[in-house]
Amino acid sequence: MGILDRLTGTRRPQAGTPALPARQLYDAIAALDRNDVPWSIRSGAAERADLVAEWTDTTGPQHFRYMIVLRLDEALHEVIALDRLWQSDGPGGGARYGQGGNVSRRGFSGTIERDANGKLRVVRTGGFDTRQLKDPLRDTVTASGWTWRQRALSM
């Protein structure tokens, strides 16, 4: 991976990896939508795309919605990805929206409790790391012989 690829978020398949047909790649990405993961993958028709991977967390005081809009370009064997992130500090707090580039956010929510010895500790009640969604998508794309290309602007 070159420096420009690293800056733009582009990931390429290993040399010699045969490119799957677009329909097989679509099915492989859709198969990542399971009951044991905190996100969902659905058709991207409403966003004029092929697929949308989305993770919404409203369990803690800080709410967020992270979306990756995917468009498959079969002629170039590329998946063009656009990140979108909505984040709120909860009731009465500010809200932020970000789009494009290589969005990467981590956070968690928790409560402060006393343990059996009376010592204060933080108990994690929720959290997110955008890599938990992006990495399986990117790995599936590159393992299928396609290039993952991050978009900086709207599709």
Q: Per-residue pLDDT tens for 78-89?
A: 999 999 888 776
- Residues pairing with 41 in the sheet: 53
pTM of the model: 0.77
88-101: pLDDT as tens digits: 766 666 666 565 55
- Contact by Cβ (8 Å): 69, 49: yes
Helix (H, G, I), strand (E, B) or coil at 129: strand
Q: Does residue 127 carry a pLDDT above 80?
A: no
Q: Give the other-Cβ count within 10 Å of 56's Cβ.
A: 15
